[in-house]
Structure 1
Amino acid sequence: MPMLPRLSERNPRDLLIAICLALGLTMWFWLDLWLGGGLIGGDVYSYYLPQKAFYADSLKQGLWPFWNPLVGHGYPLVGESQTGVFYPPTWLLYRLLDLNTAYNLNHLFHYVLAFLATVALARDLNISLRGAILTGLIFVYGWFPPRCCWEWAIITGAYLPLNLWLLRRYYLRQEPLYLWGLATGTGLQLLAGHYNLAFITLLGLLAWVVYESLAPRAMGREGVPARFSLLPFFAILLGVGLASIQLLPTWELKRESQRETQGNTRIPAFDPAVGHLPPRSLSQVIAPWLWYGDMSALNQKLNSPHRLSHPAETNPVEAHLYFSLTGLLLAGMGGWSLTRRASADEQRLRMHAAIGILAVVYATGWLLPITAHLPGFSYFRGPGRFTVLTALAVGLWAARGWDVLAGKLAPALRNGIWAVLFVAMVLEFSWVSQRVTYTYMVPETPVDHRKESVIGTMLGDQSPPARLFAPGANLPTLTGVAATPVYLGLGPQAYFDPLLTLPLGDTSVPFGAAPSLEQIAWLRRAGVTHILGFAPPAPDRPELRLIWSGYDPVLNPAWGRREPLYLSILSETRGRAAWQNLDGISSQAEGIRWQTYRPDLVELVVSTPRENVLILTDLLDPNWQLYVNGEPRNTLPIEGMFRGAELSPGQSFVQWRYEPWGIFIGLWLSVAGITIWLLWGTRSLFSSISPLLFTSR
């Protein structure tokens, strides 16, 4: 195969073609998002949009939202990570645009970035432009669209090919500017949150560094000097430093989360095998029609016992792996061509194949008994996500297959045959992405009507703040009203401890039926003020009084419900703050006046005629510091979940301030990282352009 010119030596028209195709593909796959529609289903409305709504509202009020008080009884927003509080594109979009537009543009931008980065990587592996475009198509649109129910998938996944390309450019040019870019890419990928694909990216980078250091010498060629092999590790470490303001709060939350269950047998142990790829489902690669149909039937099929499958649960999205039949045939041709003596770039394609095969083996869950004891592997669920490396490897092999095929075709036929193959892949991926997904596009999205929400209007500005008990965990907070129960991937232990959460007994969560007396008692202790349900309260429940029924422009369409909702007020509840006498008897909130309720500050002026305990039914967290009349005090744990303050008779000014040490220390580490990053970037940029400026003619 003839050597192709390197990326920098090619016609700029190649870049223009790649950009146009990157944009065009987003219009084909995500046209409704370009037209102002939105995504619905999966975790979009139960997880990401509620987070982003609170985030956007806080930014527009001039606040940095470190704590989210709306979901349940509150949780550390930065530590949970999936909001991406400090990720620059997220901050910019949600600061300037409306909620739905920001979400859509973030989604589309990262699809474009992922495609362009994949094309660039393939080009620097001596693959033609047409082949590189096929690589981008297989990797981006074969793997990511079924996973659009996870916002983080494309946002963090776009940096996998980008960081690999920057590392490849460094080895091609041995210029530190590309390592500076690698540090930037690593930092941005970590700031975006979730970290699963960032961890997989780091493993891919490690494999490439090891290959470039050892493989050439093993084949009798001159290898990369030792100092050049070590510098990528410095770049990655600098990227970690840049993201310290995000990483440290997550580490802090993990120590107090459901992932750390030592000593608490009531919380189920975290199982990293959940979301694996059952080995027998690999036949979807060659026979998709046997697998891609009804999602419920597919889920049941994937979880049916089989002697080769891991016993942990999985689902169709986690277990999805498809390259298109066209892409698979081309990859087979490319692999066959690599069985002969290969050039250095072709050896790298073999290396990618080895990584892809190992990723599939890991995705089955077979290696978890070993890797569970290694750093990082036990932190994440979803071993099936490792197939992102497989998708990239197959995409590169398919591109190689096209280049081999193109070399045998008459020049007059190449464009036409390539176009047929490209269109065939696009149609295959379109068909699959509509069948393996929990998320769908709609022309009009419920979040556009947040200001019209009846629930938000009735309860949003209430003082003291209201707290709903409502179906669809997290989703009702789109109205701006706090709601329980919660849905968190990484959250405080209290939300997962059966002794502290709503007792279910023999019934499920009672959104369509009357809650039991035991459940009513819990709701009162938890400070729930209102109950939103799908049925009116039972006549024999005097503690619930119906105050509204009807259609809410946000909640009804988000739930796909045309029938009315029913809002009731709960009597004799603690509400958001109440007294508990030292003998343990709770009383109502007389003498409690709310002054401030912000994500980082709660202020109350209270009066009591005797020694008393003030209960705040927000989540107990060590980063909330109590001050009484300006003096720091220790927060008193209430029932293992809430905050308390012991007060003397008379009037007191009570404050809880959110002072997260992880964010403060992480900030200084990130500032140090940014300083090094700026100095290194300036020096690298000057070194790169100085020959152009000072070389004599």
Structure 2
Amino acid sequence: MIKGNKAKILQKLKHFGILYGAFTALFFIYFAPVVLTGNLLAPDDDRTQSLPAFLGERTIWTPLVGAGWPVHADPLAQIWYPVSLVLSKIPMPVGWNLFIVSGFSLCSVFLYLYVRLITGKRFPAIVSALVFPLCGCMLAELRHAPVIHSMAYLTAILFVMEKLSRRHSLAWLATGMAALGLCVLNGHMQFVAYILVVVVLYAVFRSLTMKEGQSKFLIDIAALIAVGLAIGAIQILPTWELTKFSVRSKFAFIDFLSYSCHPIQAIGLVTPNALGAMNSMFFNIPYFGLEARPPHFMYLGLLPLITFSAAFLLLRGNVLTLFWLSTGILTFLLAFGNATPLAWILYNIPPFGYFRALSLLYPIAAVSFAIVCGIVLARLMVEKLARRRIVVFAATLFCVACGAISLSVQILQEIIELPERGSLEGTLPPFWENPAILVPFYGSILILVVFLAWLQKPNWRPLKVALLVVAVADLAYVGWFNEWRTAPVPVATTQLPASLPKYRDLLTASNQRLLPSRGVSSSDDECPPNLSRLWKVPSASAFGPLLNTRYLEVLGITEGGFIPVPWTFTSDFRGFDMLAVKFLTVPHGDNRLADYKANDKPIFKKLAEIGKADIFENTRAMPRVWMVGETRLMADADIVRSIRRGELPEGELFDPTKLALVSDAGMKSEGFTSPPKAVRVDNFSGSAKVVSIENRKVLLEAETGTGGFLVLSDLFYPGWKATIDGRQQEIVRTNYVLRGLEIKPGKHSIEFRYEPIYLYIGGAISLLGLLAFFGLLWKALTTKEETSEAAQELAQ
């Protein structure tokens, strides 16, 4: 019995492997300008976020980012994601490029399987499997590798759900659990939430359209969700804890709307390059549109637009088509943020109010319309249409296309006439010569002609090939002007620039940090986060969506890790000093730091010009650990104000080398119970030094004849425990973001150790989820299944 079921599963895996290999080869061919030149498919955020996570050390905590960072709790670090873990072992650039391409390939494979299952036809499935990964939003989101992989798991779960709606199968149920678990471990929690909504809606829809077995189907889906989330609990629980202390803990509606699509970007549905090509040029036309999402992000392809229209104009009602049309239209509208009331409704539904970038709903709209495309093509292959209906349809589509292009021309003209776009006057060709208008116009005519010819003989292979070729060529051509090709990343970017080893060694020896003023926008010579972690350079900067709110507030940086322009800190600011920021980097020629002085002496001293950057030394930088003789209780707002202004509420100067500030509100939110207490030691004497700093452990030595208070310039975060001479002592949140301990007279050995409770709880739940998954898989191997269904699958 085991051998028989094993053979069936191996046959299915073989079929999957063939599909995966074919689609992978196709995408490698498309991305050849980058992969064959030895470069990386890592534009924009991938270069500074996903790539360092992919290649970096998979540790629980790192002291190299910010003032310390819980890597395991950062979902985009993907330390538990098996695909990233395995492919990171392959030498660069092959490993990374395969990681990116695998996301596209998996999207194609599972979308092909799903559309073929619901239509019973190969050709529509192939079309859907290619038009979705090549659409504008997917190629634009190549800058966010987790987005691509999340969409792959959505298509996988849909395929499994459709299988389960037709026949209960333990093997497919286990496959769905694994897909959802991998989706969570992939790390894009926003997509996990979106995908769960789609899964629940699809489950309800399918249960309403099933003739029998609804209860068993819904139980299967509930088990799939429960075990899938359990597998991902090792990521979910630590991320939930991290979110409580991040900027996402309190998200205003205006923040929720950031990075949404703008209505004017709908121009990209028909003329994707009307505003030029971002990070490139479209026939010598530079990009002059909005920064966040260029119009080509909206491009779905001309064939999906034609089939979208056909779903309304040619075919009678079909419930599956209506479901995906409704899903696509709803997510399409939501992607435009405040342009509709839907955004406000979504904002008030937990947990969606903690997310931003509603444009990330657009890939779900795109896959919905790709599925509709496959369904419509399949129905057109079997449904005989009257010539009169075809003529009316063609005429309507031609008029709509002309109207859409005319509207694009009008919008373009209004943009050019804006005062801030005055420099464009005379630089753009007239509309009748503008390739951004002419190419979509002639392209739409070509695809419409091929589509109408195919309608006459929908099962004739040459016409099917012709329709597939023009549909793919249309999308591939638009995607050719995307940043993946125009801004390839050399493998050398993963190596420390030749100008920085000297300063890295100095920082490592002194246990201090560097701060790039431009954060994630820095050149390599400025040492941007999070590449700095990959290069082993201790950095006070960080980049990510879940950065600690207090840390950003006290240091005065943003989620991008940079100091906002114009700089608002003064010479009295002590944040750099107490966070042990020894070096600051700025673009070459930026001398603003030289203007900061204390007692008529410069605070920042220019050391050298290193490549495209200048590096300055902070002469007031404090060591990693020190002792003071006094602590004062203050409100958190007063502590931040004292650090940023260098002045206490009473008017005294704030000197962090002599005084530590402790919150008078206690630390209950961080899980600590001891009440706050002020310390004051007369005639204080004492010192402390670092013995060693490891990822999860810090060893210190302190000596004081009077007793005092020790301050460690590392981030205060739940899970850190401290012992003094082997006896546990509770850590005090000091100077708003740092760790402090009260020290008694004498010589002491001090140890800080990271023991994250939510990691342990999440790990235990994940272990139970994996046991349930493997138990189900074993039962599937040892249970006799209906051979007719298996034989039918193998025949397909």
* TM-score above 0.5: yes
Pair 1:131-2:144 in alignment: no
Relative distance call for 1:679 and 1:477 in structure 2 (3 A) is: closer
Report how many residues are paired: 633
- Counterpart amino acid of residue 580 in structure 1: V
Structure 1 residues without counterparts, runs of 5 or longer: 1-6, 60-64, 217-221, 262-266, 303-313, 552-562
Pair 1:354-2:347 in alignment: no
User: 1:225-279: per-residue Cα shift (whole Å, max 9, x none)?
Assistant: 3232222111111101111110000111112222224xxxxx9677322232334
Match of 1:489 among 514, 534, 545: 545
**Whole-Å Cα distance in 1 between the matches of residues 275 and 171 of structure 2?**
46
**Whole-Å Cα distance in 1 between the matches of residues 758 and 606 of structure 2?**
44
- 1:587 Cα offset (Å): 4.0
Pair 1:285-2:269 in alignment: yes
Alignment check: 8 A CA contact 2:686 2:707 kept: no
Q: Aligned runs of 1:241-390 on 2, under 5 Å?
A: 241-261=230-250, 271-291=255-275, 293-294=277-278, 315-316=292-293, 320-339=297-316, 342=318, 347-365=319-337, 366-390=341-365
Q: Aligned runs of 1:475-514 on 2, under 5 Å?
A: 475-497=531-553, 500-502=554-556, 509=563
Pair 1:628-2:686 in alignment: no
- Counterpart amino acid of residue 644 in structure 1: G
**Whole-Å Cα distance in 2 between the matches of residues 132 and 252 of structure 1?**
42
* 1:426 aligned residue: 472
Pair 1:201-2:203 in alignment: no
- 1:294 Cα offset (Å): 4.9
* 2:61 aligned residue: 67
* 1:571 aligned residue: 619
**Whole-Å Cα distance in 1 between the matches of residues 532 and 279 of structure 2?**
26
Match of 1:614, SS state, is: strand
User: 1:377-419: per-residue Cα shift (whole Å, max 9, x none)?
Assistant: 2122122222223212221232244445656668798333333
- Counterpart amino acid of residue 133 in structure 1: I
Relative distance call for 1:446 and 1:339 in structure 2 (3 A) is: same
Match of 1:459 among 489, 504, 528: 504
Relative distance call for 1:127 and 1:200 in structure 2 (3 A) is: farther
For the pair shown, the structure with the greater C-alpha radius of gyration is 2
Match of 1:200, SS state, is: helix
**Whole-Å Cα distance in 1 between the matches of residues 192 and 705 of structure 2?**
56
Q: Aligned runs of 1:58-97 on 2, under 5 Å?
A: 58-59=57-58, 65-94=59-88, 96-97=89-90
Q: Which moved more, 1:17-26 or 1:241-250?
A: 17-26
Match of 1:140, SS state, is: coil
User: 1:30-59: per-residue Cα shift (whole Å, max 9, x none)?
Assistant: 541355311454212333334444xx3x34
- 1:688 Cα offset (Å): 4.8
Q: Aligned runs of 1:34-53 on 2, under 5 Å?
A: 35-53=37-55
Relative distance call for 1:294 and 1:244 in structure 2 (3 A) is: closer
Match of 2:77, SS state, is: coil
* 2:369 aligned residue: 394
- 1:162 Cα offset (Å): 0.6
**Whole-Å Cα distance in 2 between the matches of residues 288 and 178 of structure 1?**
40
Match of 2:609 among 543, 549, 565: 549
Relative distance call for 1:591 and 1:76 in structure 2 (3 A) is: same
User: 1:46-78: per-residue Cα shift (whole Å, max 9, x none)?
Assistant: 33334444xx3x34xxxxx12232222122222
TM-align CA RMSD: 3.6
**Whole-Å Cα distance in 1 between the matches of residues 749 and 93 of structure 2?**
40
**Whole-Å Cα distance in 2 between the matches of residues 672 and 236 of structure 1?**
14
Relative distance call for 1:269 and 1:447 in structure 2 (3 A) is: same
Alignment check: 8 A CA contact 1:455 1:479 kept: no
Pair 1:676-2:772 in alignment: yes
Alignment check: 8 A CA contact 2:508 2:538 kept: no
- Counterpart amino acid of residue 118 in structure 1: L
User: 1:596-636: per-residue Cα shift (whole Å, max 9, x none)?
Assistant: 21221111122233312221111111221111111111112
Q: Percent identity?
A: 19
Relative distance call for 1:577 and 1:117 in structure 2 (3 A) is: same
**Whole-Å Cα distance in 1 between the matches of residues 146 and 485 of structure 2?**
14
Pair 1:192-2:189 in alignment: no
**Whole-Å Cα distance in 2 between the matches of residues 605 and 691 of structure 1?**
70
The two structures have a TM-score, normalised by structure 2, of 0.72
Pair 1:617-2:619 in alignment: no
- Counterpart amino acid of residue 391 in structure 1: A
Match of 2:691 among 568, 576, 595: 595
Alignment check: 8 A CA contact 1:32 1:441 kept: no
* 1:554 aligned residue: none
User: 1:622-665: per-residue Cα shift (whole Å, max 9, x none)?
Assistant: 22111111111111222111111221222211111111111011
Match of 1:488, SS state, is: coil
Relative distance call for 1:409 and 1:83 in structure 2 (3 A) is: same
- Counterpart amino acid of residue 251 in structure 1: W
Pair 1:157-2:151 in alignment: yes
* 2:673 aligned residue: none
